[in-house]
Amino acid sequence: MTPACCEQLAAFVDGELTPEEAQAFSLHLADCAECQAGLEDQVQASLAVQAAAEARPVERPESRPEARSETRPRFRPTWDRRRVVGFSAMAASVVLAVLAVVRPWRASDAGRELPFALASARSLEGRLSHPGLQGHRALGTMRSGAAGRTELDLRALAELEARGDVHGVATAYLVSGDFERAEHLLEKLPPSPAVLGDLALAALGLGQPERALRRLEAGLEAAPDDPRLHWNRGLALQALSLELAAAAEFQRVVDAKEPGWSTEAASRADGLRRGALGRRDSWQAMNAAGMALALEGTPYPSTLARRNPDLARLYLYHALRAAPSVERVRALLPLATVLDDVTRTKTATAYVARVAEADFARRGPLAATYRAVLGGQEMLEGEQAAAYLAKLRRSSERDLLLGAVLLMHQEDRYVDELTALVRQSGEPAWYEAPLARGRAQAALARGDLETAEKSLQEGLASCRSAGFQYRCVDLQQHLAALYNRLDRRKEAEGLARSALEEAFRTDSWFQEEVLLSDLVTSARLSHAPALARAYLDEYVQHAPEDCARRSEYHHARALLAVEDLDAKAARHEVEAAIACPTAPTLVELAVAGDLLRLEGGAVPGRELDRVRERIRVLREDPSLTVGERLLVDHIEGRILIERDREAGQRLLRGVITGSALKRSSDIEARKAWSHSHHVLVMDAGRAKEWDAAVALLAEELDRPAPTSCLLALAGQDERLLFVVRDAAGAGDGVFLNALKRPLREQVPEVPEGLLQRLSGCGTVRVLAEPILQGRPGLLSPDRAWSYLAPGGHRVAAPAQAPAFKRLVVSDVEPPASLALPRLMPWKGAAGPGDVHLRGRAATPEAVLAEMEDATEVELHTHGLSGTGLSDAAFLALSPDGAGRYALSAGDLEGHTLRGSPVVLLAACDANVGAWRYHAVWSLPAALIQAGARAVVAPSTQVPDVEAGAFFQALLETLRRGVPPAEALRDTRARWLQQGSARWVQDLVAFE
């Protein structure tokens, strides 16, 4: 007799049971052989019914305008817009979950075939990991552009589900191009190398190569020789245009000698190498032809001129300045004509005509010197360079003077003179780029970072308008390098990626190499190690025989390993790096300093002596800036304090003194100041000198520390320090020095003993180093607590209480390209004198202007983080006439909030800041710096339907005079009692 429970099988498969009944039946199913045997038939029957229903012609709901959802769909590649039909979401998830339990996939099933594995060609470039797809099949790409995806067969899907083959179901979705659904299923499986490889393919299908790289690195850590993972990593690198690195990955598959796969891998590797090395050969040919033109008058091939007309123009103008006679000048007219045809101007031919009229009895000797410097026969520096420029000034050869200033890289020394020469050149658009670079270099030399950035931005805009792409790439590279120095890594990455793509198009091989180096830096600063290693792999493959480059490569990889707290891997990379004798660098010494501390007693013999000698050699480098010398001293102090505490303290205190006056304008000095304070804070914590640790932390953050009810945090790498002051002002602390996971991944909880010391405090203030500032959940949600934002240049509170003004920003209309859903209309009540910016009027400029004298600010908008626009979260507002829509931390610099407002950031992730060791960079911190007296910001996603009511309740509490930390605690408690979503626990207050 069939048990009563078994009669529920059909309802269970169709998702018709209540949650309680479904849970009870799933427990029954796990032990009932009869139900398990009937499960396959029931699944197939349900699918047949569903397929029949789908076959009936019905009106598509999306064809009715009123039925369209306001939520825009998630991004899908343009080549794969279709969706496949399958189970209902509820039924599929329930059945798959149970099947995975009662019939798990086992490695012994490797011999089985998938129902769709019999096609003669495969539809995916990538290699799937399912045991049924081990054999090689040719790729079935069509030259018409069709994706060639396998249609999902419901019967095949039913067969896989009946087997309990969850991996097989996910594989079916991958083959059919439904990458989102495949990813959803794969994420439910244990993260084996096979699963991680398929998750990487899902990420690639969704256009996310960086995410694919992260998954593949995790898989390769467990299975370093798996050819499937190397194949898929090759595809991810190729998606990032890292062709030589991709070729190296496919070569690993060639070496594995797999039938079919190795042959295809060899073809892929060869094609990738030929593409990259073809650009290299083209670049070398263009430069060789250019030098031959300038030095010997050898005609420049017109095909090369059209390949990179800007580089050809550069050499044409060199040739005109180096020409020894009028005959040599006239011979340059054909090339000038070709270049004018490309740009549709007459500037090049006009320049030829002007030089042809010169008196070469006077110009000839000056041109000969120019030619000798260009060819490397003469090196003019110091007084010799000044004498040559003086001679040119006395002549009438203004174009030679302009060219000589640029040739000898003197742009930053003669900015005003160069400006006049460019204006008189007859072609100012061509020279705007080097002039902008000179202005930026001069500004950097005097510590004016804002002017440097503005000069490069304006030069880039002018260059783009003129269409000189080679010049534009150069400016983009310099601006990206500046942003990396300033730790604005997302902006740096965006500029460098864009410039790299342009360099590919014009065979600008040298610029590729410089940009790859910038991209390594931006990825490392963004704590994207898989991406940084990808760029490093491409960088080293550009010149694998170069010993100095290999040393740079291994030191950079060692730094990434140190940041992951992997001392063994870091030491392996350092040993490989020092096999190449090269001049010491700051990166090398920074790695050495951290590694000596991480290894402790396991440091190799005489390693300390070697590092000290490298420090001594680097100090002798005359090219080091003041800030860089301070960093060298800091590194030595960091090493020394682990062995000789007093000597290390003296050296680090000297760094702090030396950087005090320079840190506002020298970013390296600022880093030396902050890093030296950090080491001294940790040193005091290790010695249990709690008051000294707090005093040093307060000094680092430029603000006084509360004498009671304080929680102080400092940490980096494997170390973390907690210090508390209780209600009576007594101190206590805990120093952790052997963390296994980096702080960016996990911050340990505040020790229970320290929490007990704070139990007598009504409100706790938190003083934290930059990387720990703003962390949600540091203390329990039923406690009143807030972060104290760093001081420094914070705007002072007004002497008199400002007039009340409430600013509400809502109903914004961000650009459609962001694909953001429309937020619900704001339903709050406006009071007299309130300013409400809504809709298209809520632009960044308008919001900033109204904020300046507001006393209350509510910002009901979308918040975005992790984009290329900013390292920290920003608010997506309505675009202005120029298309600017983002309100970021950087936009608040230079603004003063005279009303000392309370600011409520009712936007997702608004508290997400950039990970910087030397300075806090986030919207809340920027608002406090600008003059806000308090900020409340979410650290996670915020449900639109709840946000308005919650922040209105919080505002009403604040208006009753309740301090911000207490108001947040009380409002949150009431909200949680009402059963609201737990997002309110991740709200953070700043004061």
Q: What is the pLDDT of residues 202-218, one digit of tens each?
A: 999 999 999 999 999 99
Confidence of residue 759 (pLDDT cuts 50, 70, 90): very high
Q: Band of the pLDDT at 3, cuts 50, 70, 90?
A: low
CA 556 to chain centre: 17
The answer on pLDDT for 113 being more than 80 is: no
Q: Which one, of 720, 704, 708, lies nearest residue 769 by Cα?
A: 720
Which are the contacts of 874, defined by CB distance < 8 A and separation ≥ 6? 863, 864, 865, 886, 887, 888, 889, 923
Does the structure show a pLDDT above 70 at 91? no
Q: With a cut of 80, say whether residue 357 has pLDDT above it.
A: yes
Q: Pairing mode, if any, of strands 835-838 and 806-810?
A: parallel
Per-residue pLDDT band at 618 (split at 50, 70, 90): very high
φ/ψ region of 389 (left if φ > 0, alpha if ψ in -120 to 50, else beta) reads alpha
Give the best-scoring range by mean pLDDT among 98-112, 113-127, 271-285, 976-990: 271-285
Burial readout 511-540 (b: 16 or more C-beta within 10 A, e: otherwise):
bbbbbbbbbbbbbbbbbbbbbbbbbbbbbb
pLDDT of residue 115: 60
Which band of pLDDT confidence, cut at 50, 70 and 90, is reported for residue 668?
very high
| The pLDDT of residue 151 | 66
Confidence of residue 29 (pLDDT cuts 50, 70, 90): low
Q: Please report the pLDDT score of residue 111 as a whole number.
A: 40
pLDDT of residue 869: 74
What's the pLDDT score for residue 30?
52
**What is the model's pLDDT at position 414?**
95
Cα→Cα distances 878→848, 863, 865, 883, 886, Å:
13, 13, 17, 9, 8
User: What's the pLDDT score for residue 487?
Assistant: 86
Where does residue 477 rank: exposed (0-12), middle (13-18), buried (19+ CB within 10 A)?
buried
DSSP secondary structure string for all residues of 769-791:
-GGGTT-TTSS-TTSEEEE----
φ/ψ of residue 765, rounded to 5? -100, 140
pLDDT at 53 over 60: no
Among 987, 972, 959, 951, residue whose Cα is nearest residue 827: 951
Nearest Cα to 502, choosing from 515, 489, 519?
Answer: 515
The neighbour count for residue 548, using CB atoms within 10 Å, is: 12
- What pLDDT is attached to residue 135? 85
* 613 — pLDDT class (breaks 50, 70, 90): very high
* DSSP 8-state class, residue 989: E
CB 565 within 8 A of CB 595: no
Contact 865, 889 (CB under 8 A): no
Of all residues in the chain, what percent carry a pLDDT higher than 70? 86
CB atoms under 10 Å from CB of 544, counted, come to 11
Between 911 and 200, residue with greater pLDDT: 200
For residues 178-185, average pLDDT? 93
Point out the least confidently predicted range of 135-144, 166-175, 311-320, 568-577.
135-144
Q: What is the DSSP string of 562-614?
A: HHTT-HHHHHHHHHHHTTS-----HHHHHHHHHHHHHHGGGPPTTHHHHHHHH
Q: Which of 83-92, 459-468, 517-526, 575-584 has the lowest mean pLDDT?
A: 83-92
- Whether 760 shows a pLDDT value over 50: the answer reads yes
- What's the CA gap between 862 and 868, in Å, rounded? 16
Average confidence (pLDDT) over 545-563:
95
**Bridging pattern class, strands 886-887 and 874-876:** antiparallel
Can you tell me the distance from the alpha carbon of 276 to that of 645, in angstroms, rounded to the nearest whole number?
Answer: 52
So what's the pLDDT on residue 479? 96
Q: How many CB atoms lie within 10 A of CB 8?
A: 19
Query: What is the rounded average pLDDT for all residues in the chain?
Result: 87
Write the CA distances from 376 to 44, 255, 372, integer angstroms.
79, 44, 6
- The 10s digit of each residue's pLDDT in 728-739 is 999 999 999 999
For residue 574, give both structure tokens. Answer: 């350092």
| Cα distance between residue 428 and residue 465, in whole Å | 12
Question: Which band of pLDDT confidence, cut at 50, 70 and 90, is reported for residue 165?
Answer: confident
The pairing of beta strand 710-716 with beta strand 806-810: unpaired
User: What is the rounded average pLDDT of the residues 690-714?
Assistant: 95
Closest of 873, 897, 902, 896 to residue 886, by C-alpha: 873
Residue 148 has what pLDDT? Answer: 54
Whether the pLDDT of residue 247 is over 70: the answer is: yes
Q: Specify whether the CB–CB gap between 809 and 800 falls below 8 A.
A: no
Closest CA to 736 of 711, 718, 754, 757: 718
Is the model's pTM score more than 0.75?
yes
Q: Is 908 exposed, middle or buried (0-12, 13-18, 19+ CB in 10 A)?
A: buried
CA–CA dist 449, 443 (Å, integer): 7
For residues 684 and 691, the answer to whether their CB atoms sit within 8 Å is no
Tokens 């490695």 correspond to what residue? Answer: 107
pLDDT per residue over 589-610, tens digit each? Answer: 999 999 999 988 777 778 899 9
Q: Band of the pLDDT at 827, cuts 50, 70, 90? A: confident
Q: Which amino acid is at 932?
A: A
Please report the pLDDT score of residue 442 as a whole number: 95
Phi/psi for 79 (5° steps) reads -85, 0
Query: Residue 107's pLDDT band (boundaries 50, 70, 90)?
Result: very low
**In what helix (H) or strand (E) does residue 943 lie, and over which residues does it extend?**
none
Mean pLDDT on 310-335: 97
DSSP notation for 536-570: HHHHHHTSTT-HHHHHHHHHHHHHHHHHTT-HHHH
Q: Report pLDDT digits (tens) over 876-905.
A: 999 998 899 999 988 898 889 999 999 999
Residue 767 CB partners (closer than 8 Å, separation 6+): 694, 697, 698, 701, 703, 705, 706, 710, 711, 712, 713, 788
Torsion of CA 702, 708, 710, 713, to 10 degrees: 60
Average pLDDT over residues 789-794: 69
Q: Are 931 and 956 in contact (CB under 8 A)?
A: no
**What's the pLDDT score for residue 130?**
84
Picking from 892, 930, 890, 921, the residue whose alpha carbon sits closest to that of residue 457 is 890
pLDDT in the model for residue 137? 86
Q: What is the pLDDT of residue 160?
A: 77
Q: Which pLDDT score, from 0 to 100, does residue 894 have?
A: 84
d(CA 311, CA 333): 16
Over residues 629-638, the mean pLDDT reads: 96
- The helix (H) or strand (E) run that includes residue 376 is none
What gap in Å lies between CA 152 and CA 141, rounded to an integer?
18
Confidence band for 551, pLDDT divided at 50, 70 and 90? very high
Q: Cα(685)–Cα(279) distance, rounded to whole angstroms? A: 55
